[in-house]
Structures are given as structure tokens and as C-alpha cells.
Structure 1
Amino acid sequence: MMMTSDWALILEEVEVLNTMIRSSEQFANLQKAHEAIYSDAALVREINDFQRMKEQYDDVQRFGKYHPDYQTIMKSIRSKKRSLDVNDKVSALKLAENDYQDLLDEISLLIGKTVSEAVKVPVSNPFFHAESSCSSGGCGSGGSCSCSA
């Protein structure tokens, strides 16, 4: 592919957009929440313990209830996950991640709609998804779609 002045302009605009995203409040909140978690040694140990427990959980899932440690591992993974979920720093990180993802979804939709109204943009939030596709449940909903695709 040949580099043209159009591509150079697009790359410049991408850099501007990247700078805007990185200077957003959502990005700052995400960084702050991430730093709060990974500066807490006890919480990092708890997360690492949970990761090790997840590996055991994956092994148990291969055999299901026939695995000899099925009950023990299932109970302990649930309690470890619950303990992490109720941690204020972890929940703050999850909220910050969701806010940041919403920002990225909005930007993707704006870029997609700039190209064409027919562009399908995958988004994680159903609110944005409803705006970006057929309002009757989608074209794959068994023929009930009323959009003019």
C-alpha cells in the first residue's frame, strides 16, 4: 500500500484522537483504580491466589463433578471471587473499566456512522447496541426485523 497525503492526514487525526482519549477523565480514573489495586501488596497476593485457584478450577471443569476435589475447589473459588468482588478497590476498577469501555464504544459508533449508517459496530453496552442496529431485535431475530437492510 502506498502512503498518500490522505493516509498521513488520517494518521495525524488518529494521534489527536489517541491523545484525547488518554487525556479523558475515564482513562485517568482507570489508571488511578489500576494503580490503587497494584500498589496494595495484600490485594495483589489475593489476586494471584485467585489466579492459581482458577487454574485448579479449569482442571476441575474438565472432569466435572467426578473430579475428586470438585466440591472443595468449587466452594473455595466462589468464596475467593466473592471476597475480591466486595473489595472496594476491585469494584472501583470494574466501574472504571466499564466507563472507559463505554467511551470507546461511543467513539467507535461515531467513527462507524461517519463512514456509513450501514456500518455495524460491535459494542459491549446494549444501550449503544440498540442505537447502532435494528430496533426490533436485530436482523438475526427470526424474521421480525423491520429495518431496511
Structure 2
Amino acid sequence: MIATMERVEIIDTAEALAEMVVNSEVAEMYRHFLYIMNTNRETQRKIKRFVQLKERFEEVQRFGRYHPDYKQVNTDVRLAKREMDMDEHVANFKRAEVELQNVLDEISVLIGHSVSNSVKVATGNPFFQTSSCGSGCGSGGSCGCSA
């Protein structure tokens, strides 16, 4: 591969962008809440309990509702998941994770559209979809979509 000045500039710009994301307030909050979640004993107890019950559920799931413990294990795993999700530290981490993902999605869309507006960028977030309507809008294309 031949290194041209244009490629070197692109790599430098990409590294600078990555550095800005890593040093951003959103990324700092993500790391902060991750640390708190990972160091809090009660939160870790809830996570560990959920993981253990989830593994048990996966064993029982092979037989489905015909397994004698299916209903109890299913109930236990749902309660443990709810307990874990309602933990303040887990909730704060998940919010920070979503905020960071939104920043990364926004950057991906901006980069993709700087190449061409027809570039499809997989963000997993319907907010970033460029079409004003879904497929099969029923308007015969009068809304501007390609359906």
C-alpha cells in the first residue's frame, strides 16, 4: 500500500478525532460510572447473582417449559435482572453508555455523509435514519422516499 499525503492526513485526523472522543466529558462520565459500578460491592453482588441465574436459565432453557424448574428459574432470573437494572450504579452506567453511543453514532453519520448522502451508516438508533418514512409508506413516493 502506498502512503500518500492524503492518507496520512486522514489517519492523523482520525486519530485526533478519536483522542477528542476519549477525552470528552461524555467518555469521562462513562469511565467514572463504570468504575463506580465495578467497585461497589452491593452492585457487584447483584450482577453476579444475575449472571449465575442467567446461566442456570440457559441450562433449563434447553428443555423449555417442560423442565420441572422452568417456571421458578424464569421468575428468579427476571427478578434478579430487575434488581440489577434498578441499582443506582447500573442505571447511571447504562445512561452514560447510551450517551457515549449516541456521540459515536452521530460521528459515524457525519463521516458517512461527508463521503456521500447515500452512504448507509449502521447506528442501531432510528433517530439517525435519513429517510423521512419507513418502507411501504403507502403514499406512492409523494413523500420523497424511494418506496
TM-score normalised to structure 2 length: 0.89
Structure 2 contact 43–90 (Cα < 8 Å) conserved: no
Partner residue, 1:110 = 110
Which residue number corresponds to residue 33 of structure 1? 33
Contact kept, 8 Å, 2:30 with 2:100, in 1: the verdict is yes
Give 1:148 deviation, angstroms. 4.8
Which consecutive unaligned segments of at least 5 residues does structure 1 have?
none
Task: Give the paired residue count.
Answer: 144
Displacement of 1:97 after TM fit?
Answer: 0.7
With 112-121 and 21-30 compared, the bigger mean Cα shift is at: 21-30
Structure 2 letter corresponding to 1:48: K
Q: Which residue of 2 aligns with 1:88?
A: 88
Aligned residues of 1:36 and 1:89 also touching (Cα < 8 A)? yes
Task: Report the alpha carbon displacement of residue 6 of structure 1 after superposing the two structures with TM.
Answer: 1.7
**2:37–2:89 CA contact under 8 A, matched in 1:** yes
> 1:92 Cα shift?
0.6
TM-score under structure 1 length normalisation: 0.88
Instruction: Give 1:27 shift.
Output: 0.5
Residue 122 of structure 2 corresponds to 122
- 1:50 maps to 50
Distance 2:75 2:61 in 1: 13
Name the % identity: 38
Q: Mean alpha-carbon deviation: is it higher for 69-78 or for 56-65?
A: 56-65
Q: Which residue of 1 aligns with 2:4?
A: 4
CA RMSD in angstroms comes to 1.9
Q: Given that residues 27 and 100 in structure 1 are in contact (C-alpha distance below 8 angstroms), is that contact kept between their aligned partners in structure 2?
A: yes
- Tell whether the 8 Å contact from 1:101 to 1:124 is kept in structure 2 after alignment: no
Structure 2: stretches of 5+ with no match in the other structure: none
- Report the residue type matching 2:88 in the other structure: D
Aligned to 1:13: 13
Partner letter of residue 135 of structure 1? Answer: S
CA distance in 2, matches of 1:69, 1:10: 57
Aligned position for 1:65: 65
